[in-house]
Amino acid sequence: MRKEILELLETDSKLTPYQIATMLGIDKSKVEKEIEAMEEEGIILQYSTLINWEKAGVEQVSALIDVKVTPQRGVGFDDIAERIYRFPEVRSVMLMSGSYDLSVEVTGRNIKEVAQFVSQKLATLEHVQSTMTHFVLKRYKQQGVILENKEKDRRQVISP
Amino acid sequence: MKLKKGDRISPLVKNLPPSGIRKFFDLVANTKGVISLGVGEPDFVTPWHIREACFYSLEQGYTMYTSNWGMPELRKEISNFLYKRYNLEYNPDNEIIVTVGASEAVDLALRTIITPGDEVLIPEPSYVSYKPCAVLAGAKPVVVQTSYKDEFKLKEEELNKKINSKTKALVLCYPNNPTGAIMEKKDLEGIARTAVKNDLIVISDEIYSELTYNGNHVSIASFPRMRDRTIVINGFSKAWAMTGWRIGFAAGPRDIIEAMVKIHQYTILCAPVMSQMAALEALRNGGEEVEKMVKQYNQRRRFVVSKLREMGLECFEPKGAFYVFPSIKITGMTSESFAEELLKQEKVAVVPGTAFGESGEGHIRISYAASLKNLTKALDRMAYFIENLTKNKMVMDKVMES
Ligand SMILES: Cc1ncc(COP(=O)(O)O)c(C=O)c1O
């Protein structure tokens, strides 16, 4: 049941417990209890909104940065990851398999801001060996959602 | 001598009643800002992997006629599908035909078995094409009523009342359009018994068979002694969201399918190859996408039923397809005026129950093949409409009293 509640909330966090309850055919109080428990357990972290910032006219640049680091005895990559994700400019940090270690997403108001962050904050951290910055030119799909969906309802208004 | 214009059209066609939906369609099409819950097809677009398989087949040059029966690989997959899902065994070589939608299969089936004068039993409320197809095949359609109190299931007693020496066939459509009714195993037993006893051929339109929400669909062809007298019709339009591809199929005893192919080869030749290639992909790899869609339909179904009941409308729980068929009798209006007023006042389109036969009077068909957002908006408007109706009715009653 938790999985079903989560799947619904993932696509629309505005759904009320009552709506979720009717859609799943269970009790509202049960849904409320489960949601509360999942918030407490840190399964549900945030009810956020997916925004097309470009369309909103807000200037913003993002970059994905491949970071190579020297892992440390005892803590591996976790310590250096924490040093990085504490910066508010950093949107996401993931440990990767392959030719580099951490993938870091950084956003800023413009290229200069991001570049400065990388050269002054990120690259200078102890244990960071190298960085490779890729700026995002355009987003097509994010969190499973197509940003400019050309598919619309093309059906006849009434059909048998 | 030249024929008068009116005489150019065969009386058989001239006398076919116009579709009950047509008039309403024009009304809706000419109103702006309508949310339509009157659409009898999925709101999903065909899953991408199926569309993609079609592009690929075109790139590979699949642009030719196929066997009249349909591509052998596709028939084999259909045979597997029918066995896996409904425990039906059909030989892909000579017991399955690929058609241009379930629609063509219905037409073929009727034309194949009807001798002019035969009677065909059609339970109502029903999908709109059986009656006209029966008439065009030269049969006399005979309506068997189903009713709200039986959750629109076909009852053996009602069926028996309409059977005589001319009765040749029975059309079944479960899960049902427009009611959302299903027939479970125990419901079908009596029907199968009656069919065997009276030597009826059953044309079973199972196009919504994958869209059930309370256990798996049961086909009447799986009953003892029924396989040899049943034409199972199914297709890709609903479960795989492939209405525009025009692809479906029929399975049945060899003699009947062979005869159906005879008509099909002269009138259609074969179903379009690109749609056959897409259908092949749908059967091979489409299960997961279907499951996802069914899950969403089910959630919306529960949501709509509970909203309707909150409005005070009586409504049995539909267990298949994507329709709800609530009673609007408490409003005192006919189906048609209810639908028209709802459209005019609140810009919500539903289909009046009478479009599916007289026994649909007092009901409307609501399709939940619509986004949750639109369903919520439309049902809120409908609740407002009904609230006003009852308020006005109370005022009117008061006026009448004084
Ligand atoms: C009961 C029923 N049968 C058949 C069809 C037509 O199906 P197809 O698109 O396969 O011709 C429909 C479509 O609405 C339907 O509701």
Question: Got the DSSP string for B102-156?
Answer: HHHHHHHHHHHH--TT-EEEEEES--TTHHHHHHHTT-EEEEEE--GGGTT---H
- B400 has pLDDT over 80: no
The verdict on B195 and B247 lying in the same domain is yes
Whether residues B39 and A25 touch (CB distance < 8 A) is answered with no
Rounded distance from Cα B103 to ligand 1 centre (Å):
6
Whether residues B240 and B322 share a domain: the answer is no
- Report d(CA B392, CA B115) in Å as an integer: 54
Q: A158 to chain B: which residues are within 8 Å by CB? A: 21, 24-25, 28-29, 36, 38-39, 349, 351
**CB within 8 A of B144, min separation 6: which ones?**
B121, B122, B123, B124, B154, B158, B159, B161, B162
Q: Are residues B281 and B292 in the same domain?
A: no
Specify the 3-state DSSP secondary structure of B197. helix
Domain match, A65 and A132 both: yes
Q: Is there a single domain that holds both residue A129 and residue A88?
A: yes
Tokens of B235: 């297709």
Tell me: do A82 and A36 sit in the same domain.
Answer: no
Atom of ligand 1 nearest to the CA of A159: 14
Residue A52 lies in a domain: no
Probe target for ligand 1 pocket from B25, B107, B177, B231, with the most ligand atoms within 8 Å of CB: B177
pLDDT digits (tens, 9 = 90+) for B286-333: 999 999 999 999 999 999 999 999 999 999 999 999 999 999 999 999
Q: Are residues A66 and A105 in the same domain?
A: yes
**Do the chains contact at A157 and B39, CB–CB below 8 Å?**
yes
Task: Please list, residue by residue across B325-349, b when 16 or more beta carbons sit within 10 angstroms of its beta carbon and e when fewer do.
Answer: bbbbbebebbbbebbbebbeebbbb
Residues B95 and B133 in one domain: yes
Domain annotation covers residue A21: yes
- Pair A83, A133 in one domain: yes
Please tell me whether residues B298 and B250 are part of one structural domain.
Answer: no
Instruction: Give dist(CA B401, CA B275) in Å, integer.
Output: 64
* Cα–Cα distance for residue pair B346/B341, rounded to 1 Å: 8
3-state SS string over B24-69?
Answer: HHHHHHCCCCCEECCCCCCCCCCCHHHHHHHHHHHHCCCCCCCCCC
Can you read off the two tokens belonging to residue B81?
């599908």
Q: Are A111 and A80 part of one and the same domain?
A: yes
The yes-or-no verdict on residue B105 having pLDDT over 90 is yes
Q: Is residue B2 part of a domain?
A: no
Distance CA B195, CA B204 (A): 12
Partners of B143 in the β-ladder: B122
Of B36, B129, B299, the CB nearest to A158: B36
Q: Is the CB of B367 under 6 A from ligand 1?
A: no
For the segment B166-175, the average pLDDT, to the nearest whole number, is 98
CA dist B325 and B45 (Å) reads 25
Tokens linked to B116:
């002019």
Query: At which of B241, B262, B286 does a domain end?
Result: B286
Q: How far apart are CA B75 and CA B78, in angstroms?
A: 5
Residue A155 lies in a domain: no
Please check whether residues B99 and B232 belong to one and the same domain.
yes
What SS3 string covers A94-118? EECCCCCCEEEEEEECCHHHHHHHH
Q: Are residues B307 and B271 in the same domain?
A: no
Tokens representing residue B347 in the block: 């810009």
Look-up: residue for tokens 């379930």?
Answer: B102
Mind telling me how many Å the CA of A121 is from chain B's nearest CA?
43
**Domain assignment of residue A74, yes or no:** yes
For B159, the enclosing helix (H) or strand (E) is helix B156-161
Q: Is residue B389 part of a domain?
A: yes
Average model confidence (pLDDT) across chain B? 96
* Residue A83 sits in the same domain as residue A15: no
Residues B219 and B244 in one domain: yes
Which CATH number belongs to the domain containing residue A78 in this structure?
3.30.70.920
Peptide bond into B178 cis (omega under 30): yes
Could you list the residue range(s) of the whole structural domain that residue A133 is in? Answer: 61-138
Lowest mean pLDDT across A150-154, B96-100, B158-162, B378-382: A150-154
Q: What is the percent of chain B where pLDDT is above 90?
A: 93
Same domain? For A77 and A27 the reply is no
Q: Domain range holding B391?
A: 8-44+288-401
The answer to whether residue A46 is domain-embedded is no
pLDDT of residue B402: 67
| Structural element, H or E, at residue B297 | helix B287-310
pLDDT of res. A88? 96
Q: Is the model's pLDDT at B2 over the cut of 80?
A: no
Give tens-digit pLDDT for B336-376: 999 999 999 999 999 999 999 999 999 999 999 999 999 99
Instruction: Specify the pTM.
Output: 0.95
The answer to whether residues A68 and A120 belong to one domain is yes
Tell me, yes or no, whether B195 and B81 share the same domain.
yes
The residue behind tokens 């590979």 is: B60
Ligand 1 geometric centre to CA of B354 (Å):
18
How confident is residue B3, by pLDDT bands cut at 50, 70 and 90? Answer: confident
Return the biggest CA–CA distance within chain B: 79
Per DSSP, helices labelled H in chain A are 2-11, 17-24, 28-40, 78-85, 111-116
Q: Is A156 touching B (CB cutoff 8 A)?
A: yes
State both tokens at B277: 């290639």
Residue B176 near ligand 1, beta carbon < 6 Å: no
Note whether residue A101 is domain-resident: yes
B311: contact with A, CB 8 A cutoff:
no
Q: Are residues B39 and B83 in the same domain?
A: no
Cβ-based contacts under 8 A for chains A and B: 53
Please report whether residue B1 resides in a domain.
no
**Atom nearest to B176 CA in ligand 1:** 1
Ligand 1 pocket test target in B19, B126, B127 with most atoms within 8 Å of CB: B127
Partnered with residue B99 across adjacent β-strands are B248
B255, amino acid identity: D
Residue B334 lies in a domain: yes
Predicted local confidence at residue A89, as pLDDT: 96
Domain's final residue, options B239, B259, B286: B286
- Percent of chain A at pLDDT > 90 equals 93
Q: Which structure tokens are listed for B101?
A: 């939608």
Per-residue pLDDT tens digits for B221-256: 999 999 999 999 999 999 999 999 999 999 999 999
Report CA-CA distances (Å) from A5 to A122, B166, B289, B290, B332.
39, 55, 19, 20, 39
> Which of these three, B286, B302, B328, is where a domain ends?
B286
Beta bridge partners of B203: B171, B231
B399 pLDDT higher than 80: no
Residue B290 · residue B281 · CB < 8 Å: no
CB of A157 within 8 Å of a chain B CB? The answer is: yes
Q: What is the mean pLDDT of residues A65-94?
A: 94
Structure confidence at residue B71 (pLDDT): 98
B111 found inside a domain? yes
Residues A65 and A21 in one domain: no
Quote the ligand 1 centre to A15 CA distance (angstroms): 33
pLDDT tens figures, A118-149: 999 999 999 999 999 999 999 999 999 999 98
**How many separate domains does chain A show?**
2
Residue A71 has a pLDDT of 87
Whether the predicted pLDDT of B1 surpasses 70: no
For chain B, what is the domain count? 2
Q: Is 90 exceeded by the pLDDT of residue B4?
A: no
CATH value at residue B109: 3.40.640.10
CATH for B378: 3.90.1150.10
DSSP symbols for B307-356: HHHHTT-------BTTEE--B-GGGT--HHHHHHHHHHHH-EE-EEGGGG
Closest CA to B299 of A159, A15, A13, A32: A15
Q: Comparing B390 with A94, which gets the higher pLDDT?
A: A94
**A87 shares a domain with A26:** no
Q: For B149, which DSSP code?
A: G
Residues A99 and A35 in one domain: no
Please state, as a whole number, how many other Cβ atoms lie within 10 Å of the Cβ of residue B150: 14
Query: Residue A97 above 90 pLDDT?
Result: yes
